[in-house]
Amino acid sequence: AGFCSAVCVEVPSETEAVQGKHMKLLCISCMKREEVTASTVVEWFYRPEGGKDEPIYEYRKTNHEFPSRFSGRLQWNGSKDMQDVSITVLNVTLNDSGIYTCNITREFEFEIHRPLFTSSRLIHLTVVEEAGEDFTSVISEIMMYILLVFLTLWLLIEMVYCYRKVSKAEEAAQENATDYLAIPSENKENCAVPVEE
C-alpha cells in the first residue's frame, strides 16, 4: 500500500511573550486524514541563549514533564487527533526567552509496512516586561488624528466661506432695498427695466 502525505497549512507560533502572562507555543503536525492507526511521540526541548537543548516535555501516550526551570508551569494543549501538539508555558518569566524545539515522530501502522515520519519546529521566543504597541495600530492611530484635523479645518473653511457668502448676499439685498426706498414714489412705477423688441 502506498502512502499519501497530507496537505498541511503551516501556522507559525507567536514569538513574543509578556512577563507574567501565559504563552502558547504552537506546533502543528500534519497526519493522514484517513482512518490509519498511528503512534505519535512528541518531544519539546528548550535552549537558552548560548546553551544546549534540554528536554522539558514529552508526550508518549501520556504526558510527562521533565524536571527543569519550567517545572509545574507547562500545560499540554494538544488535540485528540494529534495534529496540534502545542504546549503552554504558564506565568512566563524573562528567563524563559530562548529557542524551543518541537519534535514529532509518527509511526503509521499499515498491514504491509510501518513507515516512520519525523518533523521538527523551532520557535525563537522573546519575553518582554510589557506588551509593546503594534506598529500598524500606531500608524492607524496617527492617520486617524491627521484625518480628524483635516476634516475639522475643512469644516471651519466651509463655515467661513458660507458666512461670507450669506453676508454679501444680505449686504446686496440691503443696498437694493435702500436704493429702492430712495426713489420717489411717483418714479417707482417707472423703474422697471425696459424690454427691447
Give the CA-trace dihedral at 21, 96, 127, 86, to 10 degrees.
Answer: -60
Domain boundary among 94, 111, 128: 128
Tens of pLDDT, residues 64-84: 999 999 999 999 988 887 888
Instruction: From 80, 103, 100, select the one nearest 89 (Cα to Cα).
Output: 100
Domain that holds residue 99: 16-128
193 domain residue, yes or no: no
187 is a domain residue: no
Q: Is position 113 within any domain? A: yes
- DSSP assigned state of 28: B
Residue 138 and residue 123 in one domain? no
Indicate if 109 and 48 belong to the same structural domain: yes
Pair (124, 146) in one structural domain: no
- 58 with 153, same domain: the answer is no
**Average pLDDT over all residues of the chain:** 80
pLDDT bin (cut points 50, 70, 90) of residue 189 is low
Question: Would 11 be classed as within a structural domain?
Answer: no
pLDDT at 186 over 80: no
Domain-embedded: residue 102: yes
CATH number at residue 67: 2.60.40.10
Does 20 share its domain with 117? yes
List, for residues 9-39, the tens digit of each pLDDT value: 566 677 888 888 999 998 887 765 556 677 8
Does residue 143 share a domain with residue 54? no
Burial class (CB in 10 A: 0-12, 13-18, 19+), 158: exposed
In a domain, 44, yes or no: yes
User: How are beta strands 116-128 and 87-89 bridged, if at all?
Assistant: unpaired
How many separate domains does the chain show? 2
Q: Are residues 100 and 165 in the same domain?
A: no
| Strand 16-18 with 116-128, pairing | parallel
Asked if 154 and 120 sit in the same domain, the reply is: no
For residues 136 and 145, what is the distance between their CA atoms, to the nearest angstrom?
Answer: 14
- Which residues lie closer than 8 Å to 77 by C-beta, 6 or more apart? 24, 84, 86, 87, 88
Domain boundary among 74, 101, 128: 128
Which has the higher per-residue pLDDT, 47 or 185? 47
What mean pLDDT is predicted for residues 156-184?
78
Same domain, 168 and 104: no
Could you tell me if residue 26 is inside a domain?
A: yes
Q: What is the pLDDT of residue 32?
A: 53
- 23 & 44 share domain: yes
Does the pTM surpass 0.85? The reply is no
Burial of 89 (C-beta count, 10 Å sphere; 0-12/13-18/19+): buried
